[in-house]
């Protein structure tokens, strides 16, 4: 089982995430837009989408709404986040459009059959893994996606240009000052410490590395779109 980086304050107050990341709605909309555009090309009656990490369910709602045929299985390993997601996704769970699964994302994918999934999507989850876990995960993503399937990940993806990355990081850390104005210094501290951990050599996720990884795994049309500070979206189609 991998570690859980979303317990405590940042989980309790996850609904305030957008305060420190004012572009967050737009970012999630873009992920869903890519899923919606891709779905238009699928002629099947049902589209199977696996979401890696539901968090509080804010990305999940957009994914399930991206196309009427989509059913989402969303995987998360943090009980307090799952509780929030259950609440926020109640209506979709009742309709059988969303299923929340308590598991580690790598361990879950390892149990799936080859070429069995149309879309794998994720928002702000994969950067939480260590380099070794990320390699394992991406090998599984490639194995379980159908040929022609979509992988889309909106995440904290550092620019490989050091100066640009420093600037992005500084802008993000400064944005957390807004929590002070709302009397939430502990939340600010929690997110800054999370950022510091994300910078560690065995965790930081670089744009050029992820593009090359997808190409090496046999993805085509690999692109990075949308960047606001460290948040960017990478996607590709499995050959």
Ligand X SMILES: C[S@@+](CC[C@H](N)C(=O)[O-])C[C@H]1O[C@@H](n2cnc3c(N)ncnc32)[C@H](O)[C@@H]1O
Q: Which residues of this protein are in contact with ligand X, per CB under 6 A?
A: 2, 5-6, 17, 28, 53, 55, 58-59, 75-78, 81, 104-105, 123-125, 128-129
Contact 203, 223 (CB under 8 A): no
CB of 50 to ligand X, least distance (A): 12
DSSP 117: E
Question: Is 125 strand, coil or helix?
Answer: coil
**What separation in angstroms does the CA of 82 have from each of 1, 59, 103, 189?**
17, 13, 11, 23
CB of 39 to ligand X, least distance (A): 19
Q: Which residues contact 192 (CB under 8 A, 6 or more apart)?
A: 173, 176
CB closer to ligand X, 59 vs 172: 59
CB closer to ligand X, 76 vs 210: 76
CB of 163 to ligand X, least distance (A): 27
Other CB atoms within a 10 A radius of the CB of residue 216 amount to 10
- The CB-based long-range contact list for 37-41 (8 Å cut-off, 24+ gap) reads 38/119, 38/150, 38/152, 39/66, 39/67, 39/69, 39/70, 39/119, 40/67
CB of 99 to ligand X, least distance (A): 14
Q: Which residues contact 34 (CB under 8 A, 6 or more apart)?
A: 150, 152, 225, 233, 235
CB of 43 to ligand X, least distance (A): 28
Distance CA 15, CA 102 (A): 20
CB closer to ligand X, 78 vs 118: 78
CB of 13 to ligand X, least distance (A): 12
Number of residue whose CB is nearest ligand X? 55
CB closer to ligand X, 17 vs 226: 17
CB closer to ligand X, 6 vs 219: 6
CB closer to ligand X, 17 vs 206: 17
């Amino acid at each position: 089982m991998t570690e859980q980086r979303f317990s405590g304050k940042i989980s309790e107050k996850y609904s305030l995430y957008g305060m420190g990341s004012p572009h967050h709605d737009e970012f999630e909309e873009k992920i869903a837009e890519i899923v919606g555009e891709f779905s238009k090309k699928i002629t099947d009656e049902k589209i199977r989408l696996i979401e890696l990490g539901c968090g509080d369910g804010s990305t999940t709602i957009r994914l399930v709404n991206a196309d009427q045929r989509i059913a989402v299985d969303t995987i998360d390993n943090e009980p307090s986040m799952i509780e929030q997601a259950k609440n926020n996704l109640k209506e979709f769970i009742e309709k059988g459009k969303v299923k929340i699964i308590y598991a580690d994302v790598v361990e879950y994918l390892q149990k799936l059959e080859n070429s069995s999934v149309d879309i794998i999507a994720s928002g702000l989850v994969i950067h939480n893994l260590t380099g070794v876990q990320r390699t394992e995960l991406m090998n599984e993503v490639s194995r379980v996606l159908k040929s022609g399937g979509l992988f889309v990940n909106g995440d904290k993806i550092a620019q490989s240009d050091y100066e640009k990355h420093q600037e992005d990081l500084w802008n993000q850390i400064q944005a957390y000052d807004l929590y002070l104005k709302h009397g939430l210094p502990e939340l600010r501290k929690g997110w800054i410490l999370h950022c510091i951990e994300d910078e560690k050599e065995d965790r930081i996720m670089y744009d050029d590395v992820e593009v090359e990884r997808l190409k090496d795994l046999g993805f085509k049309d690999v692109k990075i779109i949308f960047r606001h500070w460290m948040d960017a979206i990478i996607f590709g189609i499995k050959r």
